[in-house]
Structure 1
Amino acid sequence: MTQTAKNDTQSTRTTVRTTEQPLVLVIGGTGKTGRKVAGKLAAQGRPVRVGSRGGEPAFDWNDPATWTAALEGVDRVYVTYYPDLALPGAADQVGAFAEAAVAAGARRLVLLSGRGEEAAQLAEEKLKVSGADWTVVRSSWFNQNFDESFFLEPVLAGEIALPTGDGVEAFVDTEDVADVVVAALCDDRHIGRTYELSGPRLLSFADVAAELSKVTGREIAYVPVSGEDYRAVLRANDLPEDFAELFTLILDGRNAHLVHGVEEVLGRAPRDFADYAREAAATGVWDVTS
């Protein structure tokens, strides 16, 4: 699923000011793409404010009263939505925030969206009509879902059980997403553009399991399950059942092709899943102790 979800709880400085350059608000700045975007901007000497519920000032999508302080002095914003842009109500919240941002003087907005997600495209349209100088970045599913969020526990357990059948996905690396977002935030040539991002090859979840088995040295199996069985798992873990709908993006084949936004923006090929898996395995994140 898109990325837009999955903010971390790790601590980070809320604002990093090193120059008089325009202040960038990174919503979800402790998440998988947000923390990398914030880090890359800070490394360039650009001032960054991390937007999160634990930040100072705090930012909460469900509390518009927090938006004003988070936007104070901000010139541009990286917009990620939690828990997922395709869920009901997200488009209206993104539209309301975009209008608030423009009114506060933050006209430059870069939105993280998802490939093939019609509900997410409603949020894109809300952003576009807000008066913002916008860029939309539509991402495939992240490689890092397997070591940083909802697929980590199944990998550790040695069994990835999902309602995806034989469907394929062009998994993309969050380093590539972050590099594209930083370019879009900093270069006006990307205003008014929509970029679709993918990795360099299509992979089924069986292919992913094979890649992970190779780098971990133990068997990790992919087990296809029914949509209803997966909904039962979501209910048992107090997760929104709407997440199950996101797997239709894989089952119906709408994203079963490569796109070239990484090359278009960055002038280089995207990172391959095998490279990601090898580097992640070296950190020990998938080590299982007896």
Structure 2
Amino acid sequence: MTPPSGPARRAAARAWCRPGRAIDAAEPMRSFAEPAAASGVERLVLLSARDWAVPEGAEKLPCERAVRESGAKWTVLKPSWFLQDFSEDPFLAGQVQDGGVAMPAGAGVEPFTDAEVARATGRVITHRPLPADEFAAHAVAQGVPEEFAGLLNTLCGWIAEGRFATLADGVQRVLGREVRDFEDYVRTTAASGVWGGCGGGGGGVERP
């Protein structure tokens, strides 16, 4: 992450910060945040993650500390899973295209679902809850790095336990409007052809 320089940096009142997946992502974040604040950037907005993304709920993610300690005003966003994970993440999108979504989350509740994807694509999509070891092997076989597959196992294990199985209004308060409905996202995305299928409805979800 390279901080902007010259007129570009001086003209920026706010900067959007998105950390990478690397374990040491805090260092490039700090190398961006501190010079940006020193050059007049007034607010840094960091896309972070829920606190449960840190084992045992450790106090603050390193990237959050880098932004909070930069000297600029800051906003830290801690979203749940994104709707776009189903179409833009190669692993999940590939599973939808193949007709089967396998996750190690058991019967846990989390604010995304595959039922609407099936209806919008007009195809049957099977949901397969897998034990953690089988999921890790499946994910790695699909090209997911072993370390990231382990992180997915941890996150989905917490979903299975029911952590954060509640809804909040943080997104509405930030946007000042109602959030986009998942079915609306699915209809638009299915029409783009990213998942294949006819997009005419009539599909369904099979659960073993």
* TM tier relative to shorter chain: 0.7 to 0.9
Does the C-alpha gap of structure 1 residues 241 and 211 become closer, same or farther in structure 2, counting only changes over 3 Å?
same
- Quick one: structure 1 residues 105 and 268, their matched pair in 2 at CA, closer, same or farther if it must change by over 3 Å? closer
> May I ask how many residue pairs the two structures share in their alignment?
186
Contact map agreement 1:231 1:241 (CA 8 A) in 2: no
CA positional deviation for 1:283: 1.8
Q: Secondary structure at the match of 2:78?
A: strand
The alpha-carbon deviation at position 153 of structure 1 amounts to 0.7
Task: Say if 2:176 is the partner of 1:267.
Answer: yes
| Equivalent in the alignment of 1:239 | 145
List gaps (5 residues or longer) in structure 1.
1-60, 172-207
Task: Specify the SS of the correspondent of 1:139.
Answer: coil
Q: 1:109 corresponds to which residue?
A: 44
Give the equivalent residue in structure 2 for 1:205.
Answer: none
* CA apart distance, 1:224: 0.7
For the 8 Å contact 1:235–1:241, the answer to whether it is kept is: no
- Give the drift of 1:256: 0.8
Counterpart for residue 227 of structure 1: 132
Question: Cα offset for 1:279?
Answer: 1.8
Give, in whole Å, the separation in 1 of the partners of 2:26 and 2:178: 32
> Are 1:93 and 2:22 counterparts?
no
1:25-64 aligned at under 5 Å gives the runs: 61=1
Asked whether 1:78 is paired with 2:16, we answer: yes
Q: Which residue matches 1:134?
A: 74
Query: Structure 2: how far apart are the matches of 1:90 and 1:248?
Result: 24
State the shift of 1:165 in Å.
0.9
Distance 1:238 1:72 in 2: 36
Q: Structure 1 residues 154, 238: CA separation in 2 closer, same or farther (over 3 Å shift)?
A: closer
Cα offset for 1:222? 0.6
1:212-234 per-residue CA deviation (whole Å, 9 max, x = no partner) reads: 11111110011011212222234
Counterpart for residue 151 of structure 1: 92
Over the residues paired in the alignment, what is the CA RMSD in angstroms? Answer: 2.5
User: TM-score, normalization: structure 1?
Assistant: 0.57
User: Per-residue displacement from partner, 1:186-240 (whole Å, max 9, x unpaired)?
Assistant: xxxxxxxxxxxxxxxxxxxxxx232211111110011011212222234331524
- Map of 2:191 onto structure 1: 282
1:98–1:240 distance in 2 versus 1, CA, 3 Å = farther
Cα distance 1:284–1:118, how it changes in 2: closer, same or farther (>3 A)?
closer
Shift of 1:74: 4.6
Q: Which has the higher contact order (CA 8 A, sep 6+)?
A: 2
Distance 2:28 2:168 in 1: 28
Q: C-alpha distance in 2, partners of 1:67/1:268?
A: 32
Cα separation, 1, equivalents of 2:129 and 2:182:
21
* Secondary structure of 2:105 counterpart: coil
2:83–2:182 contact (8 Å) kept in structure 1 = yes
Dislocated runs of 4+, deviation >6 Å:
none
Q: Work out which of the two has the higher radius of gyration on C-alpha atoms and give 1 or 2.
A: 2
Amino acid at match of 2:10: G
Q: Give % identity.
A: 40
In 1, the alpha carbon distance for the partners of 2:11 and 2:97 equals: 41
Give the match's secondary structure for 2:196.
coil
Deviation at 1:111, TM superposition (A): 0.6
Judged with a 3 Å threshold, the aligned counterparts in structure 2 of structure 1 residues 169 and 212 are, in CA distance, closer, same or farther, namely same
The worse-fitting range, judged by mean Cα deviation, of 116-125 and 157-166 is 116-125
Q: Which runs of 5+ in 2 are unaligned?
A: 199-208
Q: For residues 61-88 of structure 1, what are the alpha-carbon distances to aligned partners after superposition, in whole Å with 9 as ceiling and x for unaligned?
A: 3xxxx335496435221001123xxx52
1:214 aligns with 2:92: no
**Contact map agreement 2:53 2:155 (CA 8 A) in 1:** no
What CA distance in whole angstroms lies between the structure 2 residues aligned with 1:273 and 1:168?
A: 15
Alignment equivalent of 2:64, drawn from 109, 119, 124: 124
Shift of 1:145: 0.9
CA contact (8 A) 1:79 1:110 kept: yes
Q: Work out the CA distance in 1 between the residues paired with 2:165 and 2:5.
A: 42
Deviation, 1:284, is 1.9
